[in-house]
Amino acid sequence: MHIQTAKAASNGADSWDLSRYAADFPILAQQVRGKPLVYLDNAATTQKPAAVIRTVSEFYEQHNSNVHRGVHLLSQRATQLYEDSREKVRAFLNAASTKEIVFTRGTTEAINLVASAWGRETLKPGDEVLISWMEHHSNIVPWQMVCQQTGATLKVIPINDAGELDLKAFESLLSTRTKMLAITAVSNALGTVNPLPTLIEKAHGVGALVLVDGAQLIPHAAVDVQALDCDFLAFSSHKLYGPTGVGVLYGKEAGLHAMAPYQGGGDMIRTVSFERTTYAALPNKFEAGTPNIAGAIGLGAAIDYVSGIGMNAIAQHEAAILEYGTAQLLAVPGLRMIGTAKRKAGVLSFVLEGVHPHDIGTIVDMHGVAIRTGHHCAQPVMDRFRIPATARASLALYSSRADIDALVRALSKVKEVFG
């Protein structure tokens, strides 16, 4: 995993600047509320480059058919494109085999798949599942549910005032009772980058499996799942410039092989009779029903797109914009940054003295600036910082210094309104 530090990124000239790629994203050319759109809500979802939009519409115009079933030409083409996309995901993550790449609806479904298929079969009273205080609800609730069902216990790694994991507490929470460490790579609410290699090594040391919530990692850094040695990794296509409604569960082959299916239905079976069903091989065992074919193919196009630019270049560019944005926002009177970890990626979460975050969001929107306000599906983080919500600007490869300047200008209007 290569997340550059902001310092390293700022050393070069403007060769890191990727904001020219904004021209590849048709939606970004529009005006909203009479102002040029400044889109800074990329942690919620990213915009789509023309290449991805074209791929999806070409699929429907030329190849649309169901996969893995027809002998007719269109079905063969659709199957080929769908499986080519799986290979693109495999190569992108450097997984050992396409058997390890399961298409899901997104990060949320990928985590639910593991919590259900692995957790329900494996966990028993006395076992522990370890998560962190900075998890998105989708990496909290599925584990809570499976712990309730099995009698296992959910443990939570605390965070410090900067929004970093308390590593001492992590080590003291870890024991042979720990069966799963389910942890985000990057916090969507704080931007904190967690030290995955250390966490994974220590969790493996007590015999626990590790699931990485990669929703906010995969769009921002090059990832090699074999080097990382995680057991599972989940991410969503729509945060990686691809279509919504599709995502990926990576799992080590042996682990996936040992798991029972998540859902039953077509495409996940080998044979069915009323007495007994045998299941398809990996990865089809976990892909019951007609999948999001166009979505998966669109994800492949998104991977081609970002690979063409280079994930390291993207990480470097975003680190430079993050550094610039941090400095600019901290100069706004009354602004407090929520999430000041030493290692951060892509997220600027903040509160303004005397102004509710929703009012910030509404007023900057009047100036064409799209940010997210709220608890960001991470209510425990808000509780930890004793705030109801934050305003959050989040970056993508097309983000620019001009976007940050527009946000800062819009924030000065917020100050004008609220005195």
Residue with tokens 């991410």: 235
Pairwise CA distance, residues 364 & 342, whole Å = 28
108 makes contact with ligand 7TS (CB under 6 A): yes
Pairwise CA distance, residues 93 & 75, whole Å = 27
220 makes contact with ligand 7TS (CB under 6 A): no
42 makes contact with ligand 7TS (CB under 6 A): no
DSSP string for residues in 54-99 = HHHHHIIIII---SSS--SHHHHHHHHHHHHHHHHHHHHHT-S-GG
DSSP state of 143: H
Pairwise CA distance, residues 178 & 199, whole Å = 13
Residue with tokens 């994203």: 25
Q: What ranges in 167-310 are assigned the alpha helix state H?
A: 167-173, 196-205, 225-228, 253-258, 293-309
Closer residue to ligand 7TS in complex, CB, 314/371: 371
Phi, psi of 211 (to 5 degrees): -105, 125
48 makes contact with ligand 7TS (CB under 6 A): no
Minimum distance of ligand 7TS from residue 142's CB (angstroms): 11
The pair of structure tokens assigned to 323 is: 């550094």
215 makes contact with ligand 7TS (CB under 6 A): yes
Closer residue to ligand 7TS in complex, CB, 284/349: 349
Phi, psi of 153 (to 5 degrees): -115, 135
Stretch that binds ligand 7TS, among 67-75, 120-128, 174-182, 213-221 (CB under 6 A): 213-221
Which residue among 22, 40, 43, 288 contacts ligand 7TS (CB under 6 A)? 43
Cα separation of the two ends of the chain: 44
Binding to ligand 7TS, residues 112-151 (CB under 6 A): 136, 138-139
In the bound complex, which residue of the shown chain has the CB atom lying closest to ligand 7TS?
Answer: 188
CA 44 to each of CA 47, 174, 344, 351, 398: distance values in angstroms, whole numbers, following the listed order: 10, 32, 17, 18, 15
Closer residue to ligand 7TS in complex, CB, 78/360: 360
Closer residue to ligand 7TS in complex, CB, 137/336: 137
By CB under 6 A, how many residues form the interface with ligand 7TS?
17
Closer residue to ligand 7TS in complex, CB, 213/403: 213
**DSSP 3-state helix, strand, coil percentages of the chain (rounded to 5)?**
45, 20, 35
395 makes contact with ligand 7TS (CB under 6 A): no
106 makes contact with ligand 7TS (CB under 6 A): yes
Rounded (5°) CA angle 170-176-181: 50
213 makes contact with ligand 7TS (CB under 6 A): yes
DSSP state of 355: B
Instruction: Report the amino acid identity of residue 171.
Output: E
410-413 contact pairs (CB < 8 A, 24+): 410/363, 410/364, 410/366, 410/367, 410/368, 410/369, 411/329, 411/332, 411/335, 411/352, 411/360, 411/364, 412/332, 413/363, 413/364, 413/366, 413/367
Residue with tokens 């599925």: 142
The pair of structure tokens assigned to 264 is: 């039953």
Which residue among 55, 184, 284, 399 contacts ligand 7TS (CB under 6 A)? 184
Binding characters for ligand 7TS, 63-102, by CB under 6 A (x = yes): ----------------------------------------
377 catalytically annotated: yes
376 makes contact with ligand 7TS (CB under 6 A): yes
Minimum distance of ligand 7TS from residue 22's CB (angstroms): 21
Closer residue to ligand 7TS in complex, CB, 108/399: 108
349 makes contact with ligand 7TS (CB under 6 A): no
Which residue among 44, 141, 156, 162 contacts ligand 7TS (CB under 6 A)? 44
Closer residue to ligand 7TS in complex, CB, 280/407: 407
Binding to ligand 7TS, residues 236-255 (CB under 6 A): 236
Query: Choosing from 377, 382, 387, 408, which is the catalytic residue?
Result: 377
Closer residue to ligand 7TS in complex, CB, 138/326: 138
Stretch that binds ligand 7TS, among 12-20, 115-123, 353-361, 372-380 (CB under 6 A): 372-380
373 makes contact with ligand 7TS (CB under 6 A): no
Q: Which residues are catalytic?
A: 377
Residue numbers at the binding site for ligand 7TS (CB under 6 A) = 43-44, 106-108, 136, 138-139, 184, 188, 213, 215-216, 236, 372, 376-377
